[in-house]
Amino acid sequence: MLVDKKTFKNDFKKKLMTLYAEDIDNSSKLHQYLALGSLIKEYSAQKWMNTNNQYAKESRKQVYYFSMEFLIGRLLGSNILNLDIYDICEEGLSELGINLEELQEVENDAGLGNGGLGRLAACFLDSMASLGIPGHGCGIRYDYGLFEQKIVDGYQVEIPDNWLRDGNVWEVRREDKAIVVKFGGEVIQTEKDGKLSFEHINYESVLAVPYDTPIIGYKNNTVNTMRLWRAETIDKDFDLESFSKGQYSKAVEHKYSIESISQVLYPDDTRIDGKILRLKQQYFFVSAGLKSIIRSYKKTGRPIEEIHNYIQVHINDTHPSIAVAEFMRILIDEENLPWDEAWKMTTEVMAYTNHTILAEALEKWSIELFKKLLPRVFMIIDEINERFCKEVFEKYNDLEKVHKMAIIADGSINMAYLAIVGSHSVNGVAKLHTEILKSRELHNFYEFYPEKFNNKTNGITHRRWLMKSNPRLCELITDTIGTKWIEAPEKLIDLIVYSEDENFKNKLHEIKQNNKIRFAEMVKAKYGISIDPNSIFDVQVKRLHAYKRQLLNVFNILNLYYKLKDDPNLDIVPRTFFFGAKAAPGYYLAKRTIKLINTVANLVNNDTTINGKIKVLFLENYSVSLAEKIIPCADVSEQISTTTKEASGTGNMKFMMNGAITIATLDGANVEIHEKVGDKNIVIFGMKKDEVMNYEKNKNYNAAYYYNNDPRIKRIVDSLIDGSLGVPKSEFEDIYKYLLANNDEFFVLKDFDDYVEAQNRINLLYKNQSKWLEMSAVNIAYSGDFSSDNTIKNYAKEIWHVNPVNIKLKKN
Ligand code: 26Q
């Protein structure tokens, strides 16, 4: 055991004292949290050091997961859980008069990501450490994470997320390991003894300082590292020359311009705008990350020529794909390797995951801008492109094909193509997504490199998303099938025999009910709104996007509302519709949709004639910590994207694991959830992939047809502009136009009828509680297959070719 209760209590009191000269009675919750966090970090320190030492000593192959985003959330609870001292901390603190759950609420979320992609990276780190796989994160330590959302008069207002204001107990600043990253300047080419060499001059240096956070494995001795880089000036704070001339503001300006690189996370997850700061961010952390990896590799004394046998770099979407060129640059310019050898090593090191097929999210950089910022890296990409185009031409003798596949074409650099050409593996994140990539978006590349393409369906860590967020459900599971599922989540399948056990189902019901009651109390305390824990909790929480179709959900609510107005005795189970969603600050339609949800909430919640049968609640500031609270309460999980548009989704898996019933289109990983649980245990609706693709190909969808021929749709859509929602008519004019004049890009009107019908099925199913609970149990039973442990095992075996390492616990 790491620590016993008595020692823990003493350690904690001592921490409070040494850090703040306070005892428990005189300390704030913040100080108590910080003291506890710092103590927990101390408890993991020995393991962290051992892990690093053992990896180095045994020259283990290590994975570096490069990502612009790590949506970690809070670490206190999950660290305590993974160290297997939850009960000791909880009881020990309680004996000191402190509630552990309350302390956890003090921690600011590390919200260094937009949504799915960043959260996936965080789940992967947890799984790698828990499986003993040597795998680390590499990213940016943003001063500000994803904005905090406030709802003011129904509108989203963004507030900077100053997550570091109280300090960060988990990180270690390692200034001694800083790296210099070079921007701008020119390249001088010289020839000596027939060998070309390149000198980069007049560049601007930026200091990348690493901040390391321990990633603690579950009940093992592994502690991996998430290394995030912060941008700083080399001459400490000022541009000394300006400073000494008395030009103070110029001196500070220089500092700010450099620090701005790691200042803020871009809050948009689509509609790339090609801003230079974003490119700087990408190169900044990629260059620093690769240089530091190579530096520590060299310390092992092995020759650089073998590095590909010891490291893997994973490229999380195209954002870090510049790694392909930067690694080449280092091998060639700094390590003096010949091109062909460097190229072979690079492709063996790199692997790339694609997370999206939306055309507007595919990253391209203008050649002009790129060249200016990274002249030498551009030369390398140019050469990679030349060689690749030549190969394509040799294979097909078809210039049009070469043009279509070129990394550099029409004035810009296609980063996805660079990642594909420079990696040994290209994967999608769900079966359907990978199939679409192979058959459509990346078809040419699939034909050219069939062996590179593979699927790795996403997953979620069951430690955070079940053990930590739903402890009472875990207790029931363990009481029922024992503890094996904890280390081997696929063992949850043993629950299947209990899905017809009335005793088990009653307990399952009770747990869900208790979760709902607790949440309702929180809502009452925080927002003053009463919600009925006996109503169906119907939840759609995810980023706000047209393709995710929050609008479809709203339209069903309006339809229900109008039906209730026409017939107040309508026989439906009362339902509470929850939404949680952040809109990118510049995404106009998404922001209007938030206002619409809040307007409908206002209308419905204040209409006494419908007897409180439906309620609508927009949960402000959806985040990892809020997700952990709402997901265990959900009866219904809304996964209603237009088929083919959601690469995978991971929220769908979290809800399933917590026993919600999914209402879904056959999109992303919903397809695989459906495959597992079968027709009877999920409610599927909507257009299938071929239907969507045909409409898109033939351009023959006609939204107006549905408006004109379905009176329910007409009434709902008209109410957007006729004042019946109780706001000025102009408020939702643009949503109206988007649907009719712009022909409803994501087929909301087309799928409406089927969705309403599916919601009716949900209503009927819920009425049969015994059946409903059986479905719920079946979903939990199959959810283990969606643990990210499973996903990571596949990455490790099929892409990275790395093995787990058994870290021995030596005490120094
Ligand atoms: C790119 C350039 C400039 C500015 C922003 C971006 C950017 C940032 C974030 C582009 C995309 C993202 C995030 C994408 C994302 O979260 N995709 C989701 O990835 C999940 C994990 O694989 C999937 O489950 C979701 O289906 C997918 O939408």
Q: At 269, which CATH number?
A: 3.40.50.2000
Is the Cβ atom of 792 under 6 angstroms away from ligand 1? no
| Same domain membership, residue 335 and residue 281 | yes
| Same domain membership, residue 349 and residue 450 | yes
| Confidence label for 195 from pLDDT (cuts 50, 70 and 90) | confident
| Same domain membership, residue 488 and residue 515 | yes
Question: Are the beta carbons of 572 and 725 closer than 8 angstroms?
Answer: no
Measured in Å, residue 544 CA sits from the centre of ligand 1 at 12
* Residue type (1 letter), 798: E
This prediction has a pTM of: 0.98
Exposed / middle / buried, residue 153 (Cβ in 10 Å: 0-12, 13-18, 19+)? exposed
Distance in angstroms (rounded) separating the CA atoms of residues 796 and 773: 36
Pocket test for ligand 1, best of 65, 277, 317, 672 (most atoms within 8 A of CB): 317
Shortest-distance Cα residue to atom 13 of ligand 1: 269
Domain contains 663: yes
Domain contains 66: yes
| Confidence label for 187 from pLDDT (cuts 50, 70 and 90) | very high
User: Of 708, 709, 666, which Cα lies nearest the Cα of 687?
Assistant: 666
Over range 480-487, report the average pLDDT: 98
Distance in angstroms (rounded) separating the CA atoms of residues 238 and 248: 9
Distance in angstroms (rounded) separating the CA atoms of residues 810 and 214: 18
Strands (E), 441-574: 453-455, 536-541
Over range 306-314, report the average pLDDT: 98
Is the Cβ atom of 114 under 6 angstroms away from ligand 1? yes
Ligand 1 atom at shortest distance from the alpha carbon of 433: 26
Distance in angstroms (rounded) separating the CA atoms of residues 292 and 177: 8
Given this model, what pLDDT does residue 236 score?
59
Positive or negative: CA dihedral 733, 152, 629, 789: positive
Q: Quote the mean pLDDT of the chain.
A: 96
Q: Quick check: is 801 catalytic?
A: no
Domain contains 99: no
| Same domain membership, residue 428 and residue 471 | no
pLDDT surpassing 70 at residue 812: no
Instruction: Report helix, strand or coil for 556.
Output: helix
Q: Where are the alpha helices (DSSP H) in 397-438?
A: 399-405, 415-421, 431-436
For the segment 58-108, what is each residue's pLDDT rounded down to a tens digit? Answer: 999 999 999 999 999 999 999 999 999 999 999 999 999 999 999 999 999
| Residue of 364, 543, 613, 750 marked catalytic | 543
Given this model, what pLDDT does residue 65 score?
99
Tell me the two tokens of residue 239: 């541009």
State which H helix or E strand residue 133 sits in: none
pLDDT surpassing 90 at residue 570: yes
Domain contains 200: yes
Given this model, what pLDDT does residue 244 score?
81
Over range 455-482, report the average pLDDT: 98
Ligand 1 atom at shortest distance from the alpha carbon of 118: 16
Q: Quick check: is 433 catalytic?
A: no
| Residue of 329, 548, 549, 645 marked catalytic | 548
For the segment 397-444, what is each residue's pLDDT rounded down to a tens digit? Answer: 999 999 999 999 999 999 999 999 999 999 999 999 999 999 999 999
Over range 27-45, report the average pLDDT: 98
For the segment 734-752, what is each residue's pLDDT rounded down to a tens digit? Answer: 999 999 999 999 999 999 9
All residues at 6 or more sequence positions from 272 whose CB lies less than 8 Å from its CB, including other chains? 360, 361, 362, 363, 364
| Residue of 141, 227, 280, 355 marked catalytic | 355
Pocket test for ligand 1, best of 66, 112, 117 (most atoms within 8 A of CB): 117
Given this model, what pLDDT does residue 271 score?
67
Is the Cβ atom of 668 under 6 angstroms away from ligand 1? yes
Given this model, what pLDDT does residue 358 score?
78
Is the Cβ atom of 785 under 6 angstroms away from ligand 1? no
Given this model, what pLDDT does residue 373 score?
98
Is the Cβ atom of 639 under 6 angstroms away from ligand 1? no
Q: Say which residue the tokens 């956070």 belong to.
A: 213
Shortest-distance Cα residue to atom 15 of ligand 1: 117
Ligand 1 atom at shortest distance from the alpha carbon of 318: 1
| Same domain membership, residue 510 and residue 434 | no
Given this model, what pLDDT does residue 246 score?
82
Pocket test for ligand 1, best of 66, 114, 432, 456 (most atoms within 8 A of CB): 114
User: Of 407, 352, 424, which Cα lies nearest the Cα of 66?
Assistant: 352
Percent of the chain with pLDDT over 90: 94
User: Of 103, 49, 42, 86, which Cα lies nearest the Cα of 464?
Assistant: 86
Measured in Å, residue 690 CA sits from the centre of ligand 1 at 24
Domain contains 7: no
Quick one: angle between helices 550-566 and 748-767, nearest 10?
60
Tell me the two tokens of residue 140: 């940016």
| Same domain membership, residue 491 and residue 425 | no
Measured in Å, residue 117 CA sits from the centre of ligand 1 at 5
In angstroms and rounded to an integer, the radius of gyration of the C-alpha atoms of the chain is 27
User: Of 558, 554, 528, 561, which Cα lies nearest the Cα of 540?
Assistant: 554
Domain contains 186: yes
Shortest-distance Cα residue to atom 19 of ligand 1: 117
Pocket test for ligand 1, best of 67, 315, 355, 545 (most atoms within 8 A of CB): 355
Given this model, what pLDDT does residue 237 score?
55
For the segment 701-710, what is each residue's pLDDT rounded down to a tens digit? Answer: 999 999 999 9
Given this model, what pLDDT does residue 811 score?
65
Over range 579-605, report the average pLDDT: 98
Given this model, what pLDDT does residue 359 score?
75
Ligand 1 atom at shortest distance from the alpha carbon of 114: 9
| Same domain membership, residue 135 and residue 263 | yes
For the segment 232-288, what is each residue's pLDDT rounded down to a tens digit? Answer: 999 755 667 777 888 888 878 889 999 999 999 999 887 667 799 999 999 999 999
| Same domain membership, residue 359 and residue 269 | yes
| Share in percent of the chain as helix, strand, coil (round to 5) | 55, 15, 30
| Same domain membership, residue 471 and residue 348 | no
Between the alpha carbon of residue 273 and those of residues 266, 270, 366, 373, 377, the distances in Å are 11, 9, 11, 17, 21
Pocket test for ligand 1, best of 112, 124, 147, 269 (most atoms within 8 A of CB): 269
Residue 491: beta bridge partners?
Answer: none
Shortest-distance Cα residue to atom 9 of ligand 1: 269
Q: Say which residue the tokens 């305390």 belong to.
A: 525
Is the Cβ atom of 272 under 6 angstroms away from ligand 1? yes
Q: Quick check: is 650 catalytic?
A: yes
Give the 3-state secondary structure of 630-648. HHHHCCEEEECCCCCCCCC
Domain contains 81: no
| Same domain membership, residue 537 and residue 496 | yes
| Residue of 319, 654, 676, 750 marked catalytic | 654
Given this model, what pLDDT does residue 362 score?
83
Is the Cβ atom of 117 under 6 angstroms away from ligand 1? yes
Helices (H) and strands (E) in the chain — how many of each?
33, 25
| Same domain membership, residue 659 and residue 644 | yes
Q: Report the domain count for the chain.
A: 2
Is the Cβ atom of 358 under 6 angstroms away from ligand 1? no
| Residue of 61, 364, 542, 545 marked catalytic | 542
Measured in Å, residue 355 CA sits from the centre of ligand 1 at 6
Measured in Å, residue 791 CA sits from the centre of ligand 1 at 18
Measured in Å, residue 317 CA sits from the centre of ligand 1 at 8
| Confidence label for 381 from pLDDT (cuts 50, 70 and 90) | very high
Domain contains 697: no
Q: Quick check: is 654 catalytic?
A: yes
Measured in Å, residue 116 CA sits from the centre of ligand 1 at 6
Residues spanned by the domain of 419? 59-74+109-458+795-800
Measured in Å, residue 357 CA sits from the centre of ligand 1 at 10
Is the Cβ atom of 595 under 6 angstroms away from ligand 1? no
Is the Cβ atom of 445 under 6 angstroms away from ligand 1? no
Measured in Å, residue 270 CA sits from the centre of ligand 1 at 7
Is the Cβ atom of 266 under 6 angstroms away from ligand 1? yes
Backbone angles phi, psi at 617, to 5 degrees: -135, 125
| Same domain membership, residue 434 and residue 324 | yes
Is the Cβ atom of 649 under 6 angstroms away from ligand 1? yes
